[in-house]
Structure formats: C-alpha cells, structure tokens
Chain A
Amino acid sequence: NAGVTQTPKFRVLKTGQSMTLLCAQDMNHEYMYWYRQDPGMGLRLIHYSVGEGTTAKGEVPDGYNVSRLKKQNFLLGLESAAPSQTSVYFCASSTRGTVSYEQYFGPGTRLTVT
C-alpha cells in the first residue's frame, strides 16, 4: 500500500496564481485533513473532511478551498496565491471510530509564493 501520497512535492508560484494540491489515500479512511507547517508554529489545520462530499473549516482556512469528490482524494486549492501561503503542506487521513485516532501523513508539498 502507498498510504498517503501528495502531488506535487514542490511548487513555486507567483503572487496571484492558482494551483491545486492533490492528496490520495488507499486505506479507505473516512477522515482527511490538510495542514500547513511553518517554522516554530507546528502544524495548523486548514480544512478537513469527514466523508465523501463533506468539508469543514479548520484553524486557518482563509485563502484556501477544498473538495472531496471521491473518498480517497482530498484536494486543496489556492485561488490567488499570496506570499503568506509559502509553507509546507501536509495531508493526513484517519479512520472513523472510537478506538483508533492515529493520523497517517503524506510526505508534504513545499510551496513557495514569490
């Protein structure tokens, strides 16, 4: 199993450009998450999804949109990139249940906005 994969691994954008980050998981997990990681701030939740066709805002949702049209995929979009969105983006997934809350993480996407 590949686990959680992210595409692309690196990207450089100019201010105002748009892009979509793709996250895919093959573990049949119900929950999926997008985080951003910035130095000294840990990981902060951008948006999350509890199932196909559902999304919800996390801690830092402004400037991002998401979609989950298929259970295995979770897309993160930047409509008009800003330098403040320079960061490393991580996708994660987890199963639904009362026992296991482990999140499985992808390898990350390093985004630079100039």
Chain B
Amino acid sequence: AQSVTQPDIHITVSEGASLELRCNYSYGATPYLFWYVQSPGQGLQLLLKYFSGDTLVQGIKGFEAEFKRSQSSFNLRKPSVHWSDAAEYFCAVKLAGGTSYGKLTFGQGTILTVHP
C-alpha cells in the first residue's frame, strides 16, 4: 500500500528565512502529488499539485515544490517565509488511474512556527 512520510513533525524558522518541508512517498508507480496547508481552526487549502511534466511546480502564496522521482520526494520550498505562513502543512498522494476515485493518502503533517 502507498504511504507518505513527512519526517519533520515541527519546524521553526525566522521570518524572512528560507523554508523546505520534506515529503517522501512509497509507491509502485508515479503518483499524483499535492501539498495542502491548514491554518489554525481552518480546513485544508491546496497550495500546489504535480501530475506530470515540469518537475518544479509553482503554487499559491509563493510556494514551490520539486518532484524527484529518483528520491521519491516532493519537497515544498519557499525562499522567504512570512509570519502568516505559520500553519500545518500536509503532503498527499493519489493513485494514478480512475479506479482510485480520487482518494488521497496524507502524510502526518508538519507544523510550521515562524519567529519574528
């Protein structure tokens, strides 16, 4: 069965510093990959997604992610973090093909704290 691992439970960065959140997946085929963000008390919002093509994808709020097939990774990056980026971030994968019915498998989440 597929699995998603986010090795870092909690990350703290200073405002203006760069950020990289790690995501690794275990899968027999190339999955579809997503990053979601959850602000405190809110639902999940899609930051970006990768289906195919260019392995560097741009998302909302200045985030980007790079798919590396050889490392089974889909790490999220931002060059300069803002205090409003403090939230919990989830990596998710989906089976390619119609029989999965769009079901997502989520990582455990990474909580981002931003210091002023």
Residues in chain A within 8 A of chain B (CB atoms): 4, 31, 33, 35, 40-45, 48, 50, 56, 58, 90, 92, 94, 96, 98-99, 101-103, 105-108
B46 contacts partner chain A, Cβ-Cβ < 8 Å: yes
What size tier do the contact residues of chain B reach? 20 to 34
Tell me the minimal C-beta distance from A52 to chain B in angstroms: 14
- Name the residue among A41, A42, A105 with the largest chain B CB count within 10 angstroms: A42
Given A90-B44, A101-B32, A101-B94, does the pair A42, B108 have CB atoms closer than 8 Å?
yes
Compute how far the CA of A63 lies from the CA of B104 in the bound complex, rounded to whole angstroms.
21
Tell me the minimal C-beta distance from A96 to chain B in angstroms: 7
Tell me the minimal C-beta distance from A99 to chain B in angstroms: 8
Contact, CB under 8 Å: A33 / B43:
no
Residues in B84-109 with C-beta less than 8 Å from chain A: 90, 94, 98, 101-104, 106-109
Compute how far the CA of A13 lies from the CA of B111 in the bound complex, rounded to whole angstroms.
29
Closest to A98 in B: B98
Residues in B12-67 with C-beta less than 8 Å from chain A: 32, 34, 36, 41-46, 49, 51
